[in-house]
Structure 1
Amino acid sequence: MPFEYIDVETAVQRDGLRMVVVGGVPSPWSEAAKGILHIKGIAWAAVRLAYDNETLKQWAVELSAPVLMVGQERPRRGWADILLLAERLVPTPSLLPEDPAQRALAFGLAHELCGESGLGWSRRLQLIHAGLHNSGGFPERVAKYLGKKYGHSPEAGAAAAKRATAVLGMLTARLKAQREAGSPYYIGDSVTVVDVYSASVLALFRPLPHDVCPMDAGVRTAFETRDPETDAALDPILLEHRDLMYARHLALPLSL
């Protein structure tokens, strides 16, 4: 579903669906939220996050992204709140299984991908830690800012790679079991939000090519930081799944 970028002053005056997103970077959380709206065919407008915009801070309450706004309702931030609002606005196609046990599984896998201490969170800490130790990752200035925001410590940074590889291993096992059962998706035989989150989070490990993801060159270099432990855990089936998601369900090129 195509969307347009508008300034925050225009967004404040509108009544429809508007979302604050990270600009110029395929942030997994922003891209996953875009993907959810795309699959559901929901019309919306984007506002790029600007840390020096006081109007944006007052409107969205907090300078972060993604933040989803509909009408005059409270801002929705965080993967679960954004997902549930989209499910309420357009119930079909649903990105959550109807069966309660599978729905619970979907939320559990989603947290392991997008939640605190999940794959995206751990990879971000890993890149912060690398940047602070001059071994790739984010530039030092960015690493210091993100480290304060997301609770980096020497202990948390050192543990991040182990946590990331554990989740990668779990996701790999899940996809391989599903493939043996005849499905390319994480749950059942149809796409769920878990598939969207997985495809989006992999940008932190292997960004899409420049021709479909024209991101900031410095951030691309940071995201492509490699180490033997993470490389060994990044099974080809994860990237095959990502490519399938963009071929079948998500929009390319990315609009950043």
Structure 2
Amino acid sequence: MAFDYVSVEEAIGRGGLRMVVVGGIPSPWGEAAKGILHIKGIDWTAVRLAYDSETLKQWAGQRSGPVAIYEGERPRDRWDDILLLAERLAPEPPLLPRDPADRALAFGLAHEICGEGGLGWSRRLQLVHMGLAQAGGFPAPVAKYLGRKYGHRPETGAAAGGRVVELLGMLASRLKVQRDAGSPFYLGNALTAVDVYGAAFMGMFVPLPEAQCAMDPVTRKVFETRDAATEAALDSILLEHRDRIYADWLELPLLL
């Protein structure tokens, strides 16, 4: 599903669904939201996040992304709120199971990927911690900014790597169980939002090739930073799943 980038002023004047996204960087939260809208065939207008735009802050309520704004409704900045909005706007194809127990499991798995303390959150803190220690990761000025924004402390930064390893292991184990049961998906026998999140967040460890995701070389180097424990936990099944989901369900190349 194609989308256009417009100015914040033009977006405010439009109806329908608008979404503020981080520009130039494959932020997995934003890329997953784009993927969900693509799968559901939802038309939307894109606005690149401008940190110095007071107009954008007043409209979206923050300087962050993604933030989805539908018509005159409240801005939605949480991954689950954006997913539920998409489910409401386009119930088919569903990306959440209809069975309540499976639905609860889908939300639990998605939280462990997208939520506070989850894979993306912990990976970001890991890269901040590395950057502050001048051991790779984010450049020091970026690491300091992100550290303040997302609550980095020496103890949380030091623990982030272990959490990353734990979650990568859990996700790989689940995919192997599913594979042995004859399913290529994280849950059941159909695509769910968990598959979209799992695919998008692998970019924080192994970015898509340049032809599929043109990005700043410095940012690519940041996302490619992996210590020995993270490298060992990054099972090939995780990247095989990522590549299959992008090939079969999502749009390439990424439009950042």
Deviations 1:182-222 (A, max 9, x none): 00000011100000000011111000011110011111111
- For residues 2 and 27 of structure 1, the distance between their equivalents in structure 2, rounded to whole angstroms, comes to 18
Give the alignment of 1:9-158 within 5 angstroms: 9-158=9-158
Give the alignment of 1:141-180 within 5 angstroms: 141-180=141-180
Could you tell me how far 1:42 is from its partner in structure 2?
Answer: 0.4
- For residues 95 and 217 of structure 1, the distance between their equivalents in structure 2, rounded to whole angstroms, comes to 33
3-state secondary structure, aligned to 1:82: helix
Q: Which runs of 5+ in 1 are unaligned?
A: none
Query: What is the letter of the counterpart of residue 248 of structure 1?
Result: D
Identity of aligned residues (%): 67
- For residues 171 and 226 of structure 1, the distance between their equivalents in structure 2, rounded to whole angstroms, comes to 18
Q: Determine the structure 2 residue equivalent to 1:255.
A: 255
- For residues 20 and 190 of structure 1, the distance between their equivalents in structure 2, rounded to whole angstroms, comes to 29
Runs of 4+ in 1 over 3 A off after TM superposition: none
Q: Determine the structure 2 residue equivalent to 1:205.
A: 205
- For residues 169 and 212 of structure 1, the distance between their equivalents in structure 2, rounded to whole angstroms, comes to 27
Deviations 1:4-54 (A, max 9, x none): 100000000011111000100000000000000000000001000010001
Query: What is the letter of the counterpart of residue 214 of structure 1?
Result: A
Give the alignment's TM-score, normalised by structure 1: 0.99
Query: What is the letter of the counterpart of residue 150 of structure 1?
Result: Y
- For residues 199 and 153 of structure 1, the distance between their equivalents in structure 2, rounded to whole angstroms, comes to 29
Query: What is the letter of the counterpart of residue 187 of structure 1?
Result: L
- For residues 79 and 61 of structure 2, the distance between their equivalents in structure 1, rounded to whole angstroms, comes to 17
Could you tell me how far 1:163 is from its partner in structure 2?
Answer: 0.3
Query: What is the letter of the counterpart of residue 12 of structure 1?
Result: I
Could you tell me how far 1:238 is from its partner in structure 2?
Answer: 0.1
Could you tell me how far 1:251 is from its partner in structure 2?
Answer: 0.4
Is 1:182 matched with 2:194? no
- For residues 218 and 151 of structure 2, the distance between their equivalents in structure 1, rounded to whole angstroms, comes to 23
Q: Which runs of 5+ in 2 are unaligned?
A: none
Deviations 1:153-190 (A, max 9, x none): 11001000100100000001100000000000000111
Deviations 1:132-152 (A, max 9, x none): 000000000000000000000
